[in-house]
Amino acid sequence: MLDRAGILARVPHQGPMCLWDEVSGWDVQGIRLRAWNHAHPSHPLRARGRLHALALCEYGAQAMAVHGGLLAAGQGGRAAAGVLVALRDVVLAVDRIDGLAGALEGEAELVAASGSSQQYVFRIHHDGRLLASGRAAAMLGGGLPG
Protein backbone atom coordinates (compact mmCIF):
# COMPACT_ATOMS: atom_id res chain seq x y z
CA MET A 1 0.00 0.00 0.00
CA LEU A 2 2.91 2.37 0.66
CA ASP A 3 6.54 1.97 -0.43
CA ARG A 4 9.74 3.21 1.21
CA ALA A 5 9.61 6.58 -0.55
CA GLY A 6 6.11 7.11 0.84
CA ILE A 7 7.31 6.20 4.32
CA LEU A 8 10.31 8.55 4.06
CA ALA A 9 7.96 11.40 3.11
CA ARG A 10 6.04 10.94 6.39
CA VAL A 11 8.64 10.30 9.10
CA PRO A 12 11.63 12.17 10.53
CA HIS A 13 13.87 9.07 10.22
CA GLN A 14 15.79 9.31 6.97
CA GLY A 15 18.31 7.22 5.05
CA PRO A 16 19.24 3.91 6.65
CA MET A 17 17.76 5.05 10.00
CA CYS A 18 14.30 4.65 8.47
CA LEU A 19 13.82 0.98 9.32
CA TRP A 20 10.60 0.04 7.51
CA ASP A 21 10.47 -0.70 3.77
CA GLU A 22 6.74 -0.90 3.11
CA VAL A 23 3.31 -0.53 4.65
CA SER A 24 1.17 -3.56 3.88
CA GLY A 25 -2.00 -2.16 5.44
CA TRP A 26 -3.32 0.45 7.83
CA ASP A 27 -6.45 2.07 9.22
CA VAL A 28 -7.16 4.61 11.96
CA GLN A 29 -6.41 2.07 14.70
CA GLY A 30 -3.22 0.49 13.44
CA ILE A 31 -0.63 -0.37 10.84
CA ARG A 32 1.18 -3.38 9.36
CA LEU A 33 4.66 -3.04 7.85
CA ARG A 34 7.57 -5.05 6.42
CA ALA A 35 11.35 -4.65 6.44
CA TRP A 36 14.24 -6.61 5.00
CA ASN A 37 17.19 -4.55 6.30
CA HIS A 38 17.86 -6.44 9.55
CA ALA A 39 20.31 -8.82 7.87
CA HIS A 40 22.28 -6.07 6.13
CA PRO A 41 25.86 -5.67 7.46
CA SER A 42 25.55 -1.85 7.48
CA HIS A 43 22.34 -1.72 9.56
CA PRO A 44 22.65 1.48 11.64
CA LEU A 45 21.73 -0.27 14.92
CA ARG A 46 24.36 -3.02 14.66
CA ALA A 47 26.97 -3.14 17.38
CA ARG A 48 30.15 -5.19 17.01
CA GLY A 49 28.71 -6.72 13.84
CA ARG A 50 25.53 -7.93 15.53
CA LEU A 51 21.95 -6.73 15.62
CA HIS A 52 20.47 -7.44 19.02
CA ALA A 53 16.74 -8.11 19.30
CA LEU A 54 16.43 -4.98 21.45
CA ALA A 55 16.51 -3.10 18.12
CA LEU A 56 13.00 -4.42 17.54
CA CYS A 57 11.80 -1.79 20.03
CA GLU A 58 13.00 0.87 17.57
CA TYR A 59 11.11 -0.91 14.80
CA GLY A 60 8.03 -0.71 17.03
CA ALA A 61 8.58 2.99 17.73
CA GLN A 62 9.04 3.72 14.04
CA ALA A 63 5.84 1.86 13.24
CA MET A 64 4.14 4.40 15.53
CA ALA A 65 5.77 7.25 13.60
CA VAL A 66 4.67 5.89 10.23
CA HIS A 67 1.11 5.43 11.47
CA GLY A 68 1.07 8.96 12.90
CA GLY A 69 2.37 10.30 9.59
CA LEU A 70 -0.36 8.52 7.65
CA LEU A 71 -3.07 9.77 10.02
CA ALA A 72 -1.80 13.35 9.76
CA ALA A 73 -1.51 13.18 5.96
CA GLY A 74 -5.10 11.95 5.81
CA GLN A 75 -6.09 15.20 7.51
CA GLY A 76 -3.95 17.32 5.17
CA GLY A 77 -1.05 17.87 7.57
CA ARG A 78 2.20 16.44 8.88
CA ALA A 79 2.68 14.55 12.11
CA ALA A 80 4.34 16.38 14.98
CA ALA A 81 7.81 15.15 15.83
CA GLY A 82 7.78 12.76 18.75
CA VAL A 83 10.15 11.53 21.42
CA LEU A 84 9.93 7.97 22.71
CA VAL A 85 9.50 8.31 26.49
CA ALA A 86 8.55 4.84 27.69
CA LEU A 87 8.67 1.17 26.79
CA ARG A 88 6.66 -1.26 28.90
CA ASP A 89 5.97 -4.98 28.94
CA VAL A 90 8.65 -5.65 26.31
CA VAL A 91 9.13 -9.34 25.58
CA LEU A 92 11.92 -10.52 23.28
CA ALA A 93 11.79 -14.13 22.07
CA VAL A 94 15.27 -14.14 20.49
CA ASP A 95 18.67 -12.63 21.26
CA ARG A 96 19.63 -11.47 17.77
CA ILE A 97 17.88 -10.76 14.48
CA ASP A 98 20.78 -10.28 12.05
CA GLY A 99 20.77 -13.95 11.00
CA LEU A 100 17.08 -14.11 10.03
CA ALA A 101 16.34 -14.51 6.32
CA GLY A 102 13.27 -12.89 4.85
CA ALA A 103 11.07 -10.06 6.04
CA LEU A 104 10.33 -8.77 9.48
CA GLU A 105 6.63 -8.05 9.78
CA GLY A 106 5.48 -5.45 12.26
CA GLU A 107 2.19 -4.19 13.55
CA ALA A 108 1.30 -1.36 15.86
CA GLU A 109 -2.09 -0.62 17.39
CA LEU A 110 -3.04 2.77 18.77
CA VAL A 111 -4.33 2.42 22.33
CA ALA A 112 -4.39 6.07 23.47
CA ALA A 113 -3.79 9.45 21.85
CA SER A 114 -4.00 13.11 22.73
CA GLY A 115 -2.59 16.27 21.22
CA SER A 116 0.62 15.76 23.19
CA SER A 117 1.14 12.00 23.39
CA GLN A 118 0.46 8.61 21.86
CA GLN A 119 0.58 5.05 23.17
CA TYR A 120 0.77 1.95 21.02
CA VAL A 121 1.09 -1.78 21.42
CA PHE A 122 3.57 -3.26 18.93
CA ARG A 123 4.42 -6.77 17.75
CA ILE A 124 7.22 -7.85 15.41
CA HIS A 125 7.05 -11.25 13.68
CA HIS A 126 9.36 -13.23 11.44
CA ASP A 127 8.18 -16.21 9.42
CA GLY A 128 5.05 -16.50 11.57
CA ARG A 129 6.95 -16.36 14.88
CA LEU A 130 6.46 -13.54 17.37
CA LEU A 131 9.91 -12.04 18.02
CA ALA A 132 9.02 -9.00 20.11
CA SER A 133 6.06 -7.30 21.69
CA GLY A 134 5.56 -4.35 23.96
CA ARG A 135 3.91 -1.06 24.66
CA ALA A 136 5.48 2.28 23.71
CA ALA A 137 4.63 5.87 24.57
CA ALA A 138 5.75 9.03 22.80
CA MET A 139 5.48 12.69 23.65
CA LEU A 140 4.61 14.78 20.61
CA GLY A 141 5.94 18.18 19.72
CA GLY A 142 9.63 17.33 19.63
CA GLY A 143 10.45 17.11 23.30
CA LEU A 144 9.50 16.72 26.88
CA PRO A 145 7.57 19.41 28.72
CA GLY A 146 9.41 21.59 31.10
pLDDT in tens, 85-103: 999 999 999 999 999 999 9
Q: What is the pLDDT of residue 146?
A: 43
Which one-letter DSSP state was computed for residue 37?
A: G
Average confidence (pLDDT) over 110-135: 96
pLDDT > 60? residue 144: no
User: Distance between CA atoms of 78 and 106, rounded to whole angstroms?
Assistant: 22
Q: What is the pTM of this model?
A: 0.93
